Amino acid sequence: MAPVRLRGMIPLTLTGITEALRASWAADTCSPDDLARGGWTSDNPSMGHCDITALVVHDFFGGELMVGEVHLDGDQQGHHWWNRFPSGIEVDLTREQFRLGQVVAEGRAVQRPQAGRLRAGMSTSCCVTGTGAGSADIPAGDRGALTRRRL
């Protein structure tokens, strides 16, 4: 995948965007629903960030937004978001948040929510300021670019 170049800036790659996103995850950027369930801690920083992370990746690389139900012990716990690039590769930058045995059902492609439906205070450009160039490749062991696997 070719790097994205913003006018007058260095090229942004999936690796660079991933690093910037990971550096931005915090309790005050966590989904309010997940925060209310007590899900976010610094030990599990991706918790509650799948929606905004998928939207930022979608802004830069296009493709489809994917959503699947999250289940724990047979009970639905919410929804999980990730990306499917135009090439068909599925990338989930927040998959590691599921540490309690949650199962994410097979996803479906969804339309991007309207801007007014984004979480208050979140801008899809707020997380990528100052990212540097890096490799756009997705090596098998790269923690920052996890390929979605069917459960």
Q: pLDDT per residue over 99-130, tens digit each?
A: 989 999 999 999 998 764 444 434 333 333 33
On whether residue 123 sits in a domain, the answer given is no
Q: What is the DSSP letter of 2?
A: P
CA dihedral angle for residue 132, residue 84, residue 118, residue 50, rounded to 10 degrees: -70
**Range of 74's domain?**
10-116
On whether residue 71 sits in a domain, the answer given is yes
On whether residue 80 sits in a domain, the answer given is yes
On whether residue 92 sits in a domain, the answer given is yes
On whether residue 135 sits in a domain, the answer given is no
Q: What is the pLDDT of residues 53-96, one digit of tens each?
A: 999 999 999 999 999 999 999 999 889 999 999 999 999 999 99
On whether residue 139 sits in a domain, the answer given is no
List phi, psi (to 5°) of 37.
-80, 0
On whether residue 89 sits in a domain, the answer given is yes
Taking CA atoms, 32 is separated from 6, 21, 48, 74, 119, in Å, by 31, 18, 8, 23, 8
pTM, two decimals, is 0.71
Which is nearest to 102 in space by CA: 39, 31, 21?
A: 39
d(C-alpha 58, C-alpha 82), whole Å: 9
Give the chain's domain count.
Answer: 1
Evaluate if residue 142 carries a pLDDT over 50. no
On whether residue 34 sits in a domain, the answer given is yes
